[in-house]
Chain A
């Protein structure tokens, strides 16, 4: 029995999922299927979910499509192969902050550069959750992790800036608190023909929040509510007036550029392969 139409996109016999109580990944996973549900022509038969390794990447196992749980950091190369082999398929990548920006960092920027038609949703929980709370390239400076017991001193990647600089043609951010907004950001990413990147800030109460005294899951989400600013409002503020600790959400960048499949079609045409 399903209560909502989006539930048909879940392998319901595999629920409840393995994520900790209050983990934001479940919210982000729901946002993805709701975005897919609203998309004309995207079916469970022609949409492929590809993930890496880590908490985020367990999402693929719960989603009722052809799904691929790859190796750590490698989701984007696998997804690239699927998309190039069968361009008629729609390919969504689910990754995490460690998976995407550390071990998979090289693949991430080159996926952006090629503008391969993938939608990559990064579940950013600021930590390596599956392995118990080690610092990632997106753990804020000063925050504690098992491998940063005195607070992290490593400078942080802004994955959205990185994606834009590397050539992604759609870049957006939202949070697990702003659920409808997150769905919209993902949905518009699906609409973009090219490399779309959406950072979904999610709370990790177990491996990140607890160690950094950020409160229970609801308090972590209230922090998102209180500190995220819509990009339009953020942009109106002069840089010196942007409040300390606040961050923008929304559509950051969109541009028109030839996607890799289309570009390679030209190669096939020139070579006479059609």
Chain B
């Protein structure tokens, strides 16, 4: 372990990405994510990497996708309005299967919104922001330490599944300063390489056993073709119903079949819990305090923190709903992920929403009151 340092969540993301092997960053300034770009601008050239500030958010996505195709591990970072602009090429990365990590330090929207205020309003955008059917991986940290860890994990998942990964930060964690001890090294998923030569009939989009293709890097002599058009295993566009259906199926299945590996949640105070609070990101910090206080009041309540947002923790929530009388979803938006929780709970228990979207973060008391209300209503119905 290196010595402990006081650092911001955004800085920790930059440190984590770098340690995970990111050697290319393209970005555009936007609050509250800019510190990530600034960190990369300073650190990347020290390790022979490349930082470039592009003319806009779309170009920032394009430049990192080009660099990824040429073999570099890549990162870009932005916030709501910028992420909206990046969507076209996030879809391109999903379709052409290009590893890339996109950090979204969420702020209040829609539109320019409240640029400096925290929000968790982009969880559905992370899932459905680009057009068409495609899977996505999104992770959300609750601490500076975890911002570092999830930055590493995002890079590794992007490489393993050759897919865009969204590191869904919020302004709370992005600008939070905590003492962190960084490891000297982290586990790294190396860039996938072709297992056949051209002479052996290499096809860049032929899936491996895990349904992920081993696409050659540009410049390695494979003469591959990469396109955002629906393509077959050769990589060339094909206007066939079967190829189209198979291509979209495989994109989904490569993530769905690995969902148990990708999805991570954390349960706290759940051993004897009769009620559960579900949350994620910076909001989970306040939930932790509220649950602790509720326990002091004698309420048997625990919490489940979603670390992986997408794919959604269907199994964990279904299981949770089977164990408790009520779930309270706490999120810093008008109510987005609550619908996923209700879907996954499948009617096994009631699911309440505690939402907030007024620039302010939650106070433990607000969540405590919502817990008390849920408990009172459930008890009254018994």
Chain A residues packing against B (C-beta within 8 Å):
14, 44-46, 48, 50, 60-61, 64-71, 74, 76-86, 88-89, 106-107, 110, 264, 267-268, 270-274
Contact = CB atoms under 8 A, between A and B. Distances in A.
Contacts of A67: 223-226
Contacts of A268: 45, 48
Contacts of B186: none
B12 to A, nearest CB: 21
A245 B184 CA distance: 68
B221 A267 contact: no
B39 interface: no
A61 to B, nearest CB: 6
Contact of B59 (A14, A66, A106, A271): A106
Interface stretch (B62-70, B205-213, B350-358): B62-70
A167 to B, nearest CB: 13
26 contacts: A14-B236, A48-B70, A61-B227, A64-B223, A66-B218, A67-B225, A69-B229, A70-B62, A70-B92, A71-B89, A77-B66, A81-B64, A81-B66, A81-B67, A82-B218, A84-B50, A85-B24, A85-B50, A89-B70, A106-B56, A106-B59, A107-B62, A110-B55, A264-B50, A268-B45, A271-B42
B62 A273 contact: no
Query: In which size bucket is the chain B interface?
Result: 35 or more
B50 A89 contact: no
A66 B224 contact: yes
A268 B42 CA distance: 10
Nearest to B226: A68
B218 A68 contact: yes
B58 A74 contact: yes
A256 to B, nearest CB: 23
Interface in B83-109: 88-89, 92
B335 interface: no
Given A77-B26, A82-B66, 6 more contacts: A74-B62, A74-B89, A81-B70, A84-B67, A85-B67, A89-B70
B66 A68 contact: yes
B218 A86 contact: yes
B46 interface: yes
A272 B26 CA distance: 20
A66 B223 contact: yes
B221 A45 contact: yes
B47 interface: yes
A61 B55 contact: no
Contacts of B52: 80, 84, 264
Interface string B214-237: 001011111111111100000011
B236 A61 contact: yes
B218 to A, nearest CB: 4
Given A74-B58, A110-B54, A271 B45 contact: yes
